[in-house]
Chain A
Amino acid sequence: MTLAAASHGFLSPTGVEIAFLLVGLVTLGAAVVTVITRQLVHAALWLVVTLGGIAVEYLLLTAEFIAWVQVLIYVGSVVVLLLFGLMLTKAPIGRSPDADSGNRWAALTVAVASAAALVWVVTDAFRTTWIDLDGAVQGSTEASGRSLFQYWVLPFEALSVLLLAALVGAIVLSRRNGDPEHTGGRKPAGGRRPVGDRAPAADRPRSGGPARTREDRG
């Protein structure tokens, strides 16, 4: 990054900057539609557009690696997980009358406040920083990896421990249902009789366990 704001006007309209703005507008529009649409699955699909738009913004900022990770994790996994959940609840085709929330003013306040805080912090931090698009790529995999494992290795490790704890927690939570001592009064549903020596409690963790832990991958 070069500190050469003097040679650039504020938002001098190069092609990349115009593209950045346009993609940003599309992303913002898709995000707003995601929140206000009354059709649940459409909201999830607009979320795909939003997250994809953010990936394109990363690309325009030369952060290629981050952009593809964004697509892989958010579009490829998180949205698939959301759609999976929505399909399990048999989300109806068409408008859901109960898709609105009484908290929408509070939500709007929080959203606007956090957006304002983010915009303020980011512009304050990077206002005079320009990415030299013609020089060496600054967001390449190598550069990202170097900065991650030289300067940010401690937060990285802390995050991985946190995620591991969440994973273990999810497994523990989902296994307890099948443990005979903890089921207490909850009997297996009527009609499901143990067949032979295969008690239902013994094979339930296997069918129930992975289903829960999968949800943790998002």
Chain B
Amino acid sequence: MSDALDIALRLIAVFVAFLVFPLVIGQTEHKVMAHMQGRLGPMYAGGFHGWAQLVADGVKFAQKEDVVPAGADRRIFQLAPAVALLPYLLVLIAIPIGPHNAVGQSLDAGIFFVLAVMGVGVLGSLMAGWASANKFSLLGGLRTAAQLLAYELPMLLAAASVAMAAGTLSLPGILDAFHWWWVPWQIVGGLVFFTAGLAELQRPPFDMPVADSEIIFGAYTEYTGLRFALFLLAEYAGIVVLCALTSVLFLGGWHGPFGADGLGWLWTLLKTAILAFGVIWLRVSYPRLREDQLQKLAWTVLIPLALAQIALTGVVKVVIS
């Protein structure tokens, strides 16, 4: 009985995190972007500094008509937002937040699970892009696919470097093996991973698939109402997942200068929040790359860097063992 209760509690905790954190990041983005641009951002919804703006947005989205274009492939069009969103929910299950088994489900091949399932999320954008029967959507879908193929490899290689260092693929296992000097040792891999993750999420400066000045809103052009909101939610859930993963793999997760036992989860959240702030900052301050510049960056910079990181990891690993 307590087993079932334990599992249920963990799943509920993961689900609550899945519902709350993306909204927190979305609200932070509203406010941070506004202040960086000399505005105030939302100020009215909820009373205190517009804290309920995203709740209000959600209500607004739910009220809108759910339009499916006449020429669209109905079922795939309607299924796409779920395919885009659900993988991030699954990924959250495997990310440890604190020591002593504070994780939804400890997986033996956690890194592979996380990267594999995150890759599936991109299928949602592809389905949306194709099924909309709209040339801008199709272009967005094509760009999404090209981007994914370019960025999956450096991401995997960077993650493999950490797995080599720790000698395990399990995310809690990696954190158990962590020492502070891993941060400078794996820093190149960390940068590659984070950059590649940004590209996988289609966040600026890698947001050509949704480039609004060129192709309206890419694969999501034809979406309205709740389904559109689900795609947006997927983007913010993706930011949560990427930042949490980067902090777990490269920044030591729940390890901190002090209080790692009781306050470990706070360290994880703090690192995740700082990384998420960086993601928002990049959106405000960086111009969008062109598609060919992105491909060039991936194939001529990130992949060699990731391979060099793997070589470095291997050499250090052999020397110290």
A residues sitting closer than 8 Å to B (CB atoms) are 39, 41-42, 45, 48, 64-65, 68-69, 71-72, 75-77, 79-81, 83-84, 86-88, 90-91, 93-94, 137, 140-141, 206-207, 210, 214, 217
Contact = CB atoms under 8 A, between A and B. Distances in A.
Of the candidates B126, B131, B142, the one having the most CB atoms from chain A within 10 angstroms of its own CB is B126
A140 B119 contact: no
Interface in B123-169: 123, 126-127, 129-131, 133, 138, 141-142, 145-146, 148-150, 152-153, 156, 168-169
B265 interface: no
A77 B119 contact: yes
A88 B142 contact: yes
A-B interface, 6 closest residue pairs, ranked by CB to CB distance from nearest: A76-B119, A72-B116, A68-B112, A84-B145, A71-B116, A65-B109
A74 to B, nearest CB: 10
A83 B146 CA distance: 11
A129 to B, nearest CB: 21
B115 A72 contact: yes
Contacts of B150: 210, 214
Given A75-B120, A93-B73, A83 B108 contact: no
Nearest to A84: B145
Given A48-B123, A71-B117, A88-B142, 13 more contacts: A45-B127, A64-B107, A68-B109, A69-B116, A71-B116, A80-B122, A83-B123, A93-B71, A93-B131, A93-B133, A140-B108, A140-B109, A217-B153
Contacts of B270: none
A83 B131 CA distance: 12
A interface SS class: helix
B119 A75 contact: yes
Contact of B112 (A72, A77, A81): A72
22 contacts: A41-B130, A41-B131, A45-B76, A45-B127, A64-B108, A65-B112, A76-B119, A76-B120, A77-B152, A80-B145, A80-B148, A84-B142, A87-B141, A91-B130, A93-B71, A140-B108, A140-B109, A206-B296, A210-B150, A210-B296, A214-B146, A214-B149
Interface string B68-90: 00011100100000000000000
Contacts of B152: 76-77
B21 interface: no
Contacts of B296: 206, 210
Contacts of A77: 119, 149, 152
Nearest to A69: B112
Contacts of B73: 39, 41, 93-94
Contacts, number: 101
Contacts of A69: 112, 116
Contacts of A83: 123, 126, 130, 141, 145
A93 B123 contact: no
Of the candidates B71, B115, B149, the one having the most CB atoms from chain A within 10 angstroms of its own CB is B149
Contacts of B71: 93
B64 to A, nearest CB: 24
A65 B108 contact: yes
Of the candidates B71, B76, B119, B133, the one having the most CB atoms from chain A within 10 angstroms of its own CB is B119
B145 A87 contact: yes
Contacts of A71: 116-117, 119-120
B130 A64 contact: no
B109 A141 contact: yes
A84 B116 contact: no
B292 interface: yes
A80 B142 CA distance: 10
B164 to A, nearest CB: 12
B217 interface: no
B108 A141 contact: yes
A87 B218 CA distance: 14
A134 to B, nearest CB: 15
Contacts of A91: 130
A217 B130 CA distance: 22
B273 to A, nearest CB: 28
Nearest to B113: A68
B295 interface: yes
A87 to B, nearest CB: 5
Nearest to B142: A87
A39 B295 CA distance: 31
A54 to B, nearest CB: 13
